Structure 1
């Protein structure tokens, strides 16, 4: 099932760019600071304030959670491994950290310059995987099983003041948290939806024979599902008990592109979807699905990729440079396309994150086959 989420190239260079309206020029980029030379950087997203969140890792050192505001780097943890997974529009970041060497990771919320430990009682390992604007946090934790002979996993929703257990079973995968507190997760061979993080769970039926993988939930409670049918990817949108097949660009295979743990978002509040779909001649192109129609965003390109869609309907993606090496970052709006160019000519420039309400992107830029990293921001 996880093959339905295509993994982009390893995160290498973070780029933040403000789109120009003309689409004819490349924004000027300036470097973002790193802790030192030979540092690898990864990106997990951008918030409504323009804060970029991700990690930095020096050679031979563990990853550390970090944010960039107005071109300034802040490490969320000074020592020990730490990993961010998500953030909300109040710049609260969640993920995991380790208190001291040799210990297991613990779920954490970073807010207002302080750390809030969200490690559930009785757990030996935990990680936060999502957060809403109301500071509801989705946590995966590992516990000793009741027979003390093995381990069990638990999926819980933390709200300020208390916990709610949703799944107490070691066989769940791919949990996602929606803006309104809805939770969807794959449990054994079933996909379940917990509206507002409550109830026994509503079963989500997909397309084809297998269980669908929840990819995202919008503010209205619609759930984007990745399905598999005879080895080909299919996408569907579940709304109020009804299921809509998003179709394809003619080739019958539709998937989503992620970077590490799934990112996106591939679904916005208006019900628009972006992803990757096969054309009649076997090429894979970025698409926009809106009101029942899937549109090829680059009908003449050899290939293209889309990574995220925001509430305006802007889509961030990349296309190859004609007659040259590397790719350019693109921003598709509803009525125009902006070529953001390449952070470094000849490199693969991938805008893997998108401002939720503005035409600004964040992404990676790396020479093909190289692990060298640097960071950029637009002026």
Structure 2
């Protein structure tokens, strides 16, 4: 079936639909990761977005429940060059097309994703419509009528409804060995050393896994949980998760997090970093086309060390808007935007990128141990 991708500026891309049919709108963006399409699709930070994968062939290893980063997909649509006709992997349970059909996600293939990506890099991320039923003119009009990402609070759509203890993955998965039994592919997790509360603004499963692997017992709470309710739990530390949408639209969250500063050690990732930026008196702004992929170079200004990082964000913190007791610790070497901050007086720090990867390099995985050490020192 024919499908159309229409951008709000009138640019059109035609291709073949796979998965579901119908019409969907959202912000069009691109991800440069070569693998990990399932993790991208199920990352809650992509809520409200139509994602383009720049790698030419997608779907070659299928879909399996173990690689999901949340309970369901969150992308509004998926744009690729070619859908692999074969899903070949011993862990695969269904094809990408079957998965999209099951969850009502529209995919489009046979798109010149190189041309689309170059257009977005030049013109910037924008609203788009992906459809199998509208004319080109109607699709452009639908894109123009869809809400802008700026000012949009999408956290309410992805946060958990009730608090829960993270109990999945009682053992840590290591490299698969198809020769041995599955039991041989696992190793025991370390004992619990601290208890933390994790705010769920759209948290990825692998962040919770990494926190548990660092020795934390994790209780996940909704984004609207008052600071008083968190402190009443008397955790050893507090974690602020990643999530979708515009961080400036989350004033109700900024106010509660501000009450936690100086009370407990705090670690934030991605949206958590941007929320702390607002809490510290700063501002955020929208990037032209965002940082999405597993090849973003980041420099640690304290050590000079450079890491290749996994990123997924469309907003950044203004480094000139902070209080004087906040220090920029990391910058992006492609555009010098803020990638990490810390408070000079309180045990609070955050990074804009994703140290848990999934997908991406593991250069920055040490942050989870750094948080564990900070919590130990603060007890």
TM-score, normalising length from structure 1? 0.27
TM-score, normalising length from structure 2? 0.27
Structure with the higher fraction of residues in helix conformation: 2
